Structure formats: C-alpha cells, structure tokens
C-alpha cells in the first residue's frame, strides 16, 4: 500500500473499522485527548480426552513456568511431562501440575514419548537450536522461547527442519499476537503517523532481580544440578551455581540484553511495519554496576539503520537498556513518523498527532525590518502552507484493552495451538524468528567488535 494513499485514507476516515475497535467517535476532529476500547472475543470449546493436545515443558525455569501456566489456560491443553537439569525444579513441576506428570533430566526422554504432541523449549539460549531441531525431527510441534538462536548462523537449520517435517514451530516473543500489536499494525497501514523516521525503544531497570541476579537455592550441588549437560557445546568448566541459575549473565549460554529484550522490540517493529529488518548496527555500552562475574554489559545503546522498502521509508532505530536506572525504571516503544507518533504496548496503543509549524515565528524574523517582516508574512499566507485541516487533525487517541483481556501471552499460545489443530500457520514462524533474533544480535556483534556491522535482512546473513 502506498504511504501517501494510506495517509489520505486515514485522515478521511471518521472511524477505524476493525474487530479490535468498539467505539466510533470522530478520530481527529480537533486537538483533543480521547480513549477507545480494544476487545477480542474468545470462543470457549470443550475437548474430549482424545482431542486434547498433550504438552511437555523442556526447561522448567522462570519463563518455562510462566509459559506453561499461560498455555494451560487455552482450552484443550494438558501438561503430561516436564524436564529440567535441576531436581528442585522437577519437584516444583509436580507441585504445580500434579504428581502424575512425567519428569526427567534428559530432554530426549520427552521426545521419545508417544503421548507428547507439542513441547515448550524454555532452556538457556545455547540449547535452543539443538533441542528445537531434535523435537521437530521427533514429530513434535515446537514453541521455542526467544531468541530463537544464540547465533544467527544457527537459524537456517531450524527453518530447514521445520519445512521438512511440516510441524508447527512458533517462536516465543509473546507480545507478537497481542491486541496492541494488532492495532498498531492497522494504524500504521492506515497512515496514522505518516512515513516512519525513527523508532525509540528503552527499558530501564532498578533492582537486582531485574538485572538477572536470580536466587540460587541452597541445595544446589553437583548431585542436584546436571552441570555438565547444561554446558552443552559451551567451554567445559567446574561446577559453578551462578552460571547455571544466572546464565543470562554469560556469553557462553545467553545473548545479553540484545537477545533477552531487543528481540521483543524487533518482533513487534518488523510485524507492525511489515519489515524484514535493519541492514546496519552500531553498539556501545559497558558493565557499569553489576560487576558480579558477568561478561555482558548492563548498559547498552545500539543504533540501527533500516533501508527503504515497499512498506516503509528509510529510518533509524535507537535501542537502549539500563540495568542501573536510578530513575526507578520504566520502558517505552515509540514509532515516530512525519505526521505523528505511536506508542505501542501489549494492551494499549496511543497515537499523538501534532501541528507542523511551516510559517516562521518571531525568532527568525528579528533580523528584518518591520516593513520586510510584513512582506514575508504576506508571502507565506499566499502559499497557504498551514491550511485549517492541518490544525484539525491534532490530538491524542489511546486504545486500551478491556480489563478481561486475556493478554498477548495467551494470544500467542492460542495462535500456536490453533495452528496445530487447523494445520494452519503461526504469527512468528522460524523465518520471522531468525530475522528478529538476527537483528537483535547485531548489537552483540558490534559491541564486542567495537565497530559497525552490516546485515542482509533478506538473506539473514552478516555482510
């Protein structure tokens, strides 16, 4: 769709018609603030025991538990097995989901079970590719937590295996399926902000937990933790509980703030503007406060270049993370365009449009005589650079999800299970997942090389 045509279409419309909008006032009648409602209807279904999707969890850590709790809210899903390398988490799985579930420290035991239809892979990043490929080859549908891979070159194997097996593979950036993303995409395509010129994303944290200093259980020892298996293809080393329970802090197992946080933003951004991603990145930052043995930065700033495509103008993106934000924390995700800005969250979207001043004000007129100033003003008036319509389309509109909205995380799992049942497609397949992960991981590539890096967003390769 042409952006010029879409902007004209947007301004003409008194309402934005979609399943997500239930109110119909004039959208931009004058400078104002208004709120509209976002809704999503769900159909409750009853499934017999034979129709249920049997689910297994591989990686019963923090995200694995949150994923499973959300997945089980979808009708017709039953958890039958869980895997983890720490025995305490297997005990927790039974505590949460019953003694009848099968537990193991070897994920291959899960894949060998004929009663498992689908798996959630919520392991450390360096295990994602191996277990995802093995699970697909074993005939299981896969929900793999983001980032899909630890290194971009690992992604092609997942894409290839998914196509060969025909199994469903959803990558877990849960905000992707949210009402906020859905509405933001519609608004962008309607021309709500004109041509995008910049993306501003930030995430500030001010707590030890937010900086990944997760608790280490006092019973952690070589008997309760299978540390050698955890290491996988990472360098061998003696048992070290911090590396197991705080693996995000280490390059050997995780992907730093880029893989944990940037990838969510790239998933949303690429989805909303129908983009394949950036083609250049320049990163800086450092380890400013949490000097606890980690080898990844706790402050990170990365600038990205997006090339012009059929769906968006060339623009720049700024991503920043601060794990020692004395302000107390917070976050934001704003698409800034030539005619407005859009702030996107999973449960809300806000569009702000301002009047662009085209006529000189007092500041630049001061060097001219009074007579010349009058002539200049009359010349601008004749050009009609600020028609009345430009002032009438200013204001802020916010769309918010209803209180009973089940959330983007639920929607993402619902999309996954619906695709399994209907032999359909998911919103975040491995190709999309690699483009989001690859773009995010450019931050690490640039940071450690101390130079800009280039990326081919179509071929998904460093150049």
Q: What is the pLDDT of residues 186-210, one digit of tens each?
A: 999 999 999 999 999 999 999 999 9
Decide if pLDDT at 426 tops 80.
yes
User: Which residues, including other chains, have CB under 8 Å from residue 241's CB and lie 6 or more apart?
Assistant: 216, 220, 225
Give 225-255 pLDDT, tens digit per residue. Answer: 999 999 999 999 999 999 999 999 999 999 9
Decide if pLDDT at 61 tops 90.
yes
Reduced to 3 states, what is the DSSP secondary structure of residue 303? Answer: strand
Pick 364 or 336 by higher pLDDT.
Answer: 336
- Residue 22: predicted pLDDT: 38
Query: pTM to 2 decimals?
Result: 0.90
- pLDDT band at residue 33 using 50, 70 and 90 as cut-offs: confident
Task: Report the candidate in 211, 368, 347, 362 with the shortest Cα–Cα distance to residue 289.
Answer: 211
Is the peptide bond preceding residue 130 cis, with omega within 30 degrees of 0? no
Decide if pLDDT at 24 tops 80.
no
* Rounded mean pLDDT, 341-367: 90
CB distance 183 to 349 below 8 Å = yes
How much is the mean pLDDT over the chain?
Answer: 92
Whether CATH 3.30.420.40 fits 3-41+182-407+433-462: no
Decide if pLDDT at 18 tops 50.
no
CB distance 83 to 58 below 8 Å = yes
Q: Tokens representing 311?
A: 């769906």
Give the β-pairing of 118-121 and 53-58: parallel
According to DSSP, the residues that pair with 410 across neighbouring strands are none
- pLDDT band at residue 71 using 50, 70 and 90 as cut-offs: very high
Decide if pLDDT at 360 tops 90.
no
CATH class of 49-176: alpha beta
Question: Cα separation of 173 and 268, whole Å?
Answer: 9
Domain boundaries, the chain: 3-41+182-407+433-462, 49-176
Q: Which of 287-304 are b and which e, b meaning 16 or more Cβ less than 10 Å from the residue's Cβ?
A: eeebeeebebbbbbbbbb
- Residue 450: predicted pLDDT: 97
Question: Cα separation of 377 and 358, whole Å?
Answer: 12
Among the residue ranges 46-55, 256-265, 385-394, the one predicted with the least confidence is 385-394
Decide if pLDDT at 405 tops 80.
yes
Give 407-421 pLDDT, tens digit per residue. Answer: 999 999 999 999 999
Angle between helical axes of 179-189 and 408-422 (0-180°, round to 10): 90
Among the residue ranges 46-55, 268-277, 419-428, the one predicted with the least confidence is 46-55
CB distance 126 to 252 below 8 Å = yes
- Residue 389: predicted pLDDT: 57
Task: Report the candidate in 151, 448, 126 with the shortest Cα–Cα distance to residue 283.
Answer: 448
């Amino acid at each position: 769709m042409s952006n010029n045509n879409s902007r004209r279409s947007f301004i003409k419309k008194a309402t934005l018609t979609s399943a997500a909008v239930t109110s119909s006032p004039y959208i931009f009648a004058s400078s104002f603030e208004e709120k509209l409602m976002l809704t999503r209807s769900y159909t409750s279904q009853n499934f017999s025991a034979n129709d249920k999707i049997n689910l297994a969890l591989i990686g019963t850590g923090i995200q694995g538990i949150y994923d499973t709790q959300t997945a089980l809210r979808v009708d017709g899903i039953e958890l039958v097995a869980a895997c983890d390398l720490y025995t305490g988490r297997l005990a927790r799985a039974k505590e949460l989901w019953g003694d009848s579930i099968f537990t193991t420290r070897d994920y291959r035991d899960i894949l060998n079970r004929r009663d498992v239809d689908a798996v959630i892979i919520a392991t450390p990043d360096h295990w994602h590719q191996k277990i995802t490929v093995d699970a697909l080859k074993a005939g299981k549908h896969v929900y793999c937590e983001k980032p899909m891979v630890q290194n971009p070159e690992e992604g092609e194997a997942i894409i290839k295996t998914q196509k060969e097996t025909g199994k469903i593979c959803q990558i877990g950036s849960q905000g992707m399926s949210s009402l906020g993303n859905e509405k933001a995409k519609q608004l962008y395509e309607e021309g709500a902000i004109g041509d995008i010129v910049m993306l501003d994303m930030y995430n500030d944290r001010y707590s030890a937990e937010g900086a990944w200093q997760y608790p280490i259980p006092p019973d952690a020892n070589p008997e309760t933790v299978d540390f050698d298996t955890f290491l996988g293809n990472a360098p061998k080393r003696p048992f070290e509980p911090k590396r197991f329970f705080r693996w995000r802090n280490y390059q050997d197992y995780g992907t730093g703030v880029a893989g944990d946080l940037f990838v969510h933003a790239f998933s949303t951004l690429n989805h909303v503007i129908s983009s394949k991603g950036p083609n250049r990145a320049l990163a800086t930052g450092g380890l400013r406060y949490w000097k606890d043995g980690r080898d990844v930065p706790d402050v990170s700033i990365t600038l990205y270049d997006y090339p012009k495509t059929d769906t968006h103008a060339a623009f720049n993106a700024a991503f920043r993370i601060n794990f020692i934000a004395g302000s107390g924390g917070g976050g934001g995700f704003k698409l800034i365009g030539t005619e407005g800005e859009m702030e996107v969250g999973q449960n809300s979207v806000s569009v702000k449009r301002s009047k662009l001043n085209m006529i000189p004000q007092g500041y630049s007129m001061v060097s001219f005589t009074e007579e010349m100033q009058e002539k200049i003003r009359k010349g601008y008036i004749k050009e009609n650079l600020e028609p009345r319509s430009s002032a009438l389309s200013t204001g802020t509109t916010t769309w918010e999800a209803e209180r009973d909205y089940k959330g983007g995380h639920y929607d993402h799992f619902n999309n996954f299970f619906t695709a399994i049942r209907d032999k359909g497609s998911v919103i975040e397949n491995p190709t999309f997942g690699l483009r989001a992960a690859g773009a995010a991981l450019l931050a690490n590539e640039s940071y450690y090389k101390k130079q800009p890096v280039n990326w081919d967003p179509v071929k998904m390769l460093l150049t």
